[in-house]
Structure 1
Amino acid sequence: MKEFVLIMGALYGMLSVVFGAFGAHALKKKFTAEQLTSFETGVKYQMYHAILLVILGLTLPMVNSIEHFAAIFIIVGIFLFSFSIYGLCITSSNGKKLKILGPITPLGGLCLVIGWILLIVIFASYGFYL
């Protein structure tokens, strides 16, 4: 599981750099200011959580189910949150907005929040109290 978390963190990190460059250069002329801001939000959240996955993969033993679930919620949350934003922005700029992606974004955000809550539980169980 550690290897999977590390690979997903590295993959999401790499993709956030690619999508960030794509947004800053290729899409800058095609997107409205609002679409560009939304796209950048997806890229930022993807990178923040990619870094988190790498840190978790390097520091947590990943030997129990709560650690696995925290990582899985973060991995799924990144995909649902950021990639739905990318899809909404791209389809909207083409005049054919995929409205079905709209409800997916908050589900991704919820997955990320659950991942963070599980991390609080994990850290508290290791004696890292607030």
Structure 2
Amino acid sequence: MIPTVFSPLSLWRAGATLGSTGILLATYGAHALKNTVSDPAWIKNWQTATNYQLLHALAILYLSNAHHPATNQSPLLAGTLMTIGTTMFSGVLYLKTLSVKARVSRILAPTVPIGGLLMCAGWAFLWF
């Protein structure tokens, strides 16, 4: 059996949290972000972050119920990788957008591709 980080219930809650916060952040991005950030590239980054977050929230919700405890734990591991990857990828893009000139933006920059790789690994792990 493959060890997982999240139980089905924890994964369900993570997907629900990513979905609900994704809606809120997408709404903020559509209506209020332009008052804070003027560069269209950063607004596009925000949109990318919300799109990936909402897509993966749905996938994580599905994966929380797509396993068979005795034979197949890979959906839970895939969902765990997607949860961690989405949090890193989207979360850091949000922080970078809101703190474009801050030092935190440069420090956290390497986290975005790592999060992207974890999301990709989650999808790839479904092959097994």
In the alignment, is residue 66 of structure 1 matched against residue 55 of structure 2? no
> Per-residue deviation at 1:17?
0.4
- Asked if 2 retains the 8 angstrom alpha-carbon contact of 1:2 and 1:61, the reply is no
- Asked if 2 retains the 8 angstrom alpha-carbon contact of 1:62 and 1:68, the reply is no
Name the stretch that deviates more: 8-17 or 65-74: 65-74
In the alignment, is residue 24 of structure 1 matched against residue 30 of structure 2? yes
2:41 counterpart letter in structure 1 = E
Is there any run of 5+ residues in structure 1 with no aligned partner, and where? Answer: 122-130
User: Which residue number corresponds to residue 53 of structure 1?
Assistant: 60
2:42 counterpart letter in structure 1 = Q
User: Which residue number corresponds to residue 113 of structure 2?
Assistant: 106
- Asked if 2 retains the 8 angstrom alpha-carbon contact of 1:8 and 1:75, the reply is yes
> Identity of counterpart residues, as a percentage?
26
Is there any run of 5+ residues in structure 2 with no aligned partner, and where? Answer: 1-6
Query: TM-score when scaled to structure 1?
Result: 0.84
Query: TM-score when scaled to structure 2?
Result: 0.85
Q: Number of residues paired by the alignment? A: 119
> Per-residue deviation at 1:68?
3.1
- Asked if 2 retains the 8 angstrom alpha-carbon contact of 1:49 and 1:78, the reply is yes
User: C-alpha deviations, 1:73-114, integer Å up to 9, x for none?
Assistant: 11100111000100111100xx32520111000000000111
Higher relative contact order (CA 8 A, sep 6+): 2
Q: Distance in 1 between matches of 2:76 and 2:47?
A: 29
Q: Distance in 1 between matches of 2:79 and 2:117?
A: 14
Distance 1:69 1:59, change over 3 A: closer
> Per-residue deviation at 1:61?
2.8
- Asked if 1 retains the 8 angstrom alpha-carbon contact of 2:67 and 2:76, the reply is no
RMSD of Structure 2 on Structure 1 (CA): 1.5
- Asked if 1 retains the 8 angstrom alpha-carbon contact of 2:46 and 2:97, the reply is yes
SS in 2 for 1:120: coil
